[in-house]
Structure 1
Amino acid sequence: MMNKAVIGVTGYDVSEEEGYGGKLRGNIGQGFSVIGHDYLQCVERAGGIPVGLPVLSDSDLSIVSSLDAIVLTGGEDVDPRLFRENVDHRMGRICPERDHFELKLIEYALKENKPILAICRGMQLLNVYFGGSLYKDISDKGKVLTHNFENNPRWYCAHSVRLMHPVLRDLYGSDEIDVNSYHHMAINRLGAGLEIAAESSDGIVEAMVHRKFKDILAVQWHPEMMSVKYEEGLLPFQWLIQAVKAERDKCFR
């Protein structure tokens, strides 16, 4: 019997100053690596085994060889210096160490032909990896929908998105779906080889695939949060598990 897929899941890198005496437990001088349970549970419910990937300062990524796929999760804003812009007052917390680690992680995963599911920040960082840029705030695009609903239940569907690529249409069995929304940055210039796979009615890019690397799926919404109420939240994670199985089948041909 074939073993379950082992899926690496990224997370927050919380500094010692952030953690002590605040929202996290611990002692003075301790930092934390934090991974949302929703991601881990979705991987498990989809049939995989989740493995947390802490930010490694030396970027030794040999562990990727023992993983079957990667989930690039949501979190802090992407450092705009990575796409040759400056931080401004509209931006939230950035974590250059996490950016650096996950960019190396993407590079290594692509070399090893590991499927990648990128969510929210993960999609934005993936776009930057391929040479694209971001809106530091979606207001830069002009009149747009509200895309950041932090005060609502995490599964709350904020707006609809039009599915433009067969991968998503086949996955969801529809041309349009409702999604939650928790972002203020957004895709501006597409990175090399990336294609828009979904858009909201205001033209904000909501999903991407890659023309060369077929085992990449990136979504701007948070399916892992939606999964606590809607089973379709599991679909991107099920896609990832199926991508792993397809890669394994190639090895046995």
Structure 2
Amino acid sequence: MSPPLIGITTYGRGENNRFYLPAQYVDAVRRAGGIPLLLPPGEPHAESLLVQLEGLILTGGGDLDPALYGGAPHPAIYMVDPERDKSEIALVQYSAQSALPTLGICRGSQIINVALGGTLIEHLPDAVGETILHRLPPREPTQHSIRLTPGCRLAEILFQEEFLAPSWHHQAIRRPAPGLKVVGQAPDGTAEAVEMSDHPWLIGVQWHPELAAAEEPLHQKLFNGLVSAASEWKRR
């Protein structure tokens, strides 16, 4: 059987009229044994493409339009891209209906929550302070600890309930969508991982496992788990 095809969303169209994606996402999928397929936003024939996928990764990037979740404008919100928001909401809805194995990373976790009816914190320091830094100024990654709920699917994949993770965000889930369960938190209470209860494999993580996956097997396990689930989905 051929390796599973894993769709990976890209960032939106940039000022130079190019789509962009950090190579670490592609590298992590290849190490896991999957075939990466980049999915730029705005595809008019998305349904014809989606039926060929065996797995999906919703990547990080800029912020969602706060109007999508009843949020308020905030000066820290940046890189809002209506085309990307619309495309990725449709991807989440397809995943929820089809049971396609899906991993949301940072923004990807947030788009899962918003697409299914949840809300976001517009600027995390306003809600939880800055005792725990989730990114360094002006917009640089850092790391902090994560604690998972014992027995959750994610803990079973990682074989670990507490660990350090690369963090690079200023927003997070405020109210989980119906059907989503928070299964991971930072020390300040920020939601760091969610799972969809009635989906065979839909996980969102607020941290950036792709940044550490090449050097730290713990974070590569998340991509391995997705590709393994995609292989099973392909067999079925």
Note whether the superposition's TM-score is higher than 0.5.
yes
Q: Does structure 2 retain, via aligned residues, the 8 Å contact 1:43–1:50?
A: yes
Does residue 147 (structure 1) correspond to residue 146 (structure 2)? The answer is no
Q: Does structure 2 retain, via aligned residues, the 8 Å contact 1:10–1:73?
A: yes
Q: Which runs of 5+ in 1 are unaligned?
A: 20-30
What is the CA–CA distance in structure 2 between the aligned matches of 1:152 and 1:120, rounded to whole Å? 14
SS in 2 for 1:66: coil
Matches within 5 A, 1:1-253: 2-15=1-14, 18-19=15-16, 31-56=17-42, 58=44, 60-144=46-130, 145-149=132-136, 158-164=143-149, 165-249=151-235, 251=236
Q: Which runs of 5+ in 2 are unaligned?
A: none
- State how many pairs are aligned: 234
* CA positional deviation for 1:168: 2.0
What is the CA–CA distance in structure 1 between the aligned matches of 2:10 and 2:139, rounded to whole Å? 22
Cα–Cα, structure 1 residues 59 and 183, in superposed 2: closer, same or farther, change >3 Å? Answer: farther
Cα–Cα, structure 1 residues 13 and 170, in superposed 2: closer, same or farther, change >3 Å? Answer: same
Larger Rg: 1
What is the CA–CA distance in structure 1 between the aligned matches of 2:56 and 2:195, rounded to whole Å? 15
1:62-118 deviation line (CA, Å, top 9, x unaligned): 200011111000001111000112322121221111000011111123333211010
Deviates more, 1:99-108 or 1:117-126: 99-108
Percent identity between the two aligned chains: 32
Q: Does structure 1 retain, via aligned residues, the 8 Å contact 2:71–2:120?
A: no
What is the CA–CA distance in structure 2 between the aligned matches of 1:173 and 1:44, rounded to whole Å? 22
What is the CA–CA distance in structure 2 between the aligned matches of 1:151 and 1:176, rounded to whole Å? 28
Which letter does structure 1 place at the counterpart of 2:181?
E
SS in 2 for 1:35: coil
Higher RCO (Cα < 8 Å, 6 or more apart): 2
Q: Does structure 2 retain, via aligned residues, the 8 Å contact 1:115–1:240?
A: yes
What is the CA–CA distance in structure 2 between the aligned matches of 1:53 and 1:41, rounded to whole Å? 16
Q: Does structure 1 retain, via aligned residues, the 8 Å contact 2:74–2:123?
A: no
Cα–Cα, structure 1 residues 93 and 126, in superposed 2: closer, same or farther, change >3 Å? Answer: same
| TM-score (norm: length of structure 2) | 0.93
